Amino acid sequence: RSRSKSKRTSGFDMAPPAALLPNAAAAVAGQLPGITPTI
Amino acid sequence: CSRLHNRPTISPTLLLSNMYQRPDMITPGVDAQGQPIEARKIQEHFEDFFEDIYEELRKFGEIESLNVCDNLADHMIGNVYVQFKEEDQAAAALNALQGRFYSGRPIIADFSPVTDFREATCR
């Protein structure tokens, strides 16, 4: 779609912040994941 | 509401559960940091959301109606109802929305039995 309009980016496909995805996101960011609680 | 509404296997209407979150959802007129928010900002926030969702959904077909609940009560909070002209357009949209995120939150999409929003009440 046209990006010519001065509009902030859509919230679609905005992934959750890294804190909420410890395994996947932390691995990407190169951080050590926190202790994963045992379910 | 606590009723278990029936979920049709096909419908021109989709329900995106709890998708809209007001910036002042914790306390009316106040943001998460406890700062007051102008009514204009809240309105803009809503309009941005509405535009986002409209732009995304219209890729799948002609939209008959788009309803966003911006209520603060628990009941149907932030629910988005989108009615397409055709059932297969709704099906395509549902399929495309599965497993995606909006603003860091997963999209929960389902068919909804509602086809006339003036008549839409719990029965």
Tell me the per-residue pLDDT of B27-81, one tens digit each, with 9 for 90 and over.
899 998 999 999 999 999 999 999 999 999 999 999 999 999 988 877 888 999 9
Beta bridge partner(s), residue B109 = B16
Interface of A with B in 1-39 (CB under 8 A): 1, 7-8, 10-17, 20
Q: Cβ–Cβ of B101/A10 closer than 8 Å?
A: no
Instruction: Report how far apart, in Å, the C-alpha atoms of A25 and of each of B23, B62, B99, B100, B121 are.
Output: 25, 36, 17, 16, 41
Confidence of residue B4 (pLDDT cuts 50, 70, 90): low
- Cβ(B115)–Cβ(B94) under 8 Å? no
Give the pairing of strands B105-106 and B109-112.
Answer: unpaired
B58: closest chain A residue by CA = A1
pLDDT the model gives residue B74: 78
| Residue B9 pLDDT greater than 80, yes or no | yes
Enter the ipTM: 0.75
Q: Cβ–Cβ of B48/A8 closer than 8 Å?
A: yes
Q: Cβ–Cβ of A12/B52 closer than 8 Å?
A: yes
The pTM for the full model equals 0.78
Q: Low-confidence residues of chain A, pLDDT below 50?
A: 25-27
In the chain, the amino acid numbered B31 is D
pLDDT the model gives residue A15: 84
Domain boundaries, chain B: 13-119
* CATH T-level assignment (fold) for domain B13-119: Alpha-Beta Plaits (3.30.70)
